[in-house]
Amino acid sequence: MTTNKSVLAWIDEMKELVQPDKLVWIDGSEEQLEALRAEACSTGEMHKLNQEKLPGCYLHRTAVNDVARVEDRTMICSKKEEDAGPTNHWMDPEKAYKMLYDIARGSYKGRTMYVIPYSMGPVGSPLAKIGVELTDSIYVVLNMAIMTRVGQKVWDTLGDSTDWVKGLHCKCDIDAEKRYIMHFPEDNTIISVNSGYGGNVLLGKKCFALRIASYLGKNEGWMAEHMLILGIENPKGEKKYVAAAFPSACGKTNLAMLIPPEGYKKKGYKVWTVGDDIAWMRKGPDGRLWAINPENGFFGVAPGTNMKSNPNALISTQKGTIFTNVVQNLDDNTVWWEGLDKNPPEHALNWKGEPWNGKTSEEKGAHPNSRFTAPAKNCPCISDEFDSTSGVPISAIIFGGRRAQTTPLVYQSRDWANGVFVGSIMASETTAAAAGAVGVVRRDPMAMLPFCGYHMGDYFKHWFEMGDVLGDKAPKIFNVNWFRLDDEGHFIWPGFGDNFRVLEWIIKRCEGEVDAQETAIGYVPYAEDINLEGLDFSLETLKSILYVDNEQWKKEAEGITEFYKKFGDKLPAQLAAQLDSLKARLDK
Q: Which residues are annotated as a binding site?
A: 69, 197-199, 206, 226, 248-254, 277, 369-371, 402, 496-499
Q: Using an 8 Å Cβ cutoff, are 505 and 264 in contact?
A: no
Catalytic residue status for 379: no
The binding site for GTP consists of: 249-254, 371, 402, 496-499
Exposed/middle/buried for residue 49 (C-beta within 10 Å: 0-12, 13-18, 19+): buried
Q: Using an 8 Å Cβ cutoff, are 221 and 282 in contact?
A: yes
3-state secondary structure of 99: helix
177 Cβ contact list (under 8 Å, min separation 6): none
Q: How far apart are CA 519 and CA 545, in angstroms?
A: 14
- Nearest one of 330, 334, 362 to 346, comparing CA atoms: 330
The binding site for Mn(2+) consists of: 206, 226, 277
Handedness of CA 566, 568, 571, 574 (dihedral sign): positive
Residue type, 466: M
Backbone angles phi, psi at 262, to 5 degrees: -50, -45
Q: Using an 8 Å Cβ cutoff, are 227 and 243 in contact?
A: yes
- Nearest one of 310, 303, 363 to 335, comparing CA atoms: 303
Backbone angles phi, psi at 41, to 5 degrees: -70, -35
Residue type, 281: M
Q: Which residue among the candidates 250, 379, 381, 452 is catalytic per the annotation? A: 250
- Taking 3-state DSSP, the helix, strand and coil percentages for the chain, each rounded to the nearest 5, stand at 35, 25, 45
Q: How far apart are CA 106 and CA 112, in angstroms?
A: 12
The binding site for substrate consists of: 69, 197-199, 248, 369-371
- Roughly how many angstroms between the first and final C-alpha of the chain, as a whole number? 67
Handedness of CA 388, 391, 397, 401 (dihedral sign): positive
Residues known to be catalytic: 250
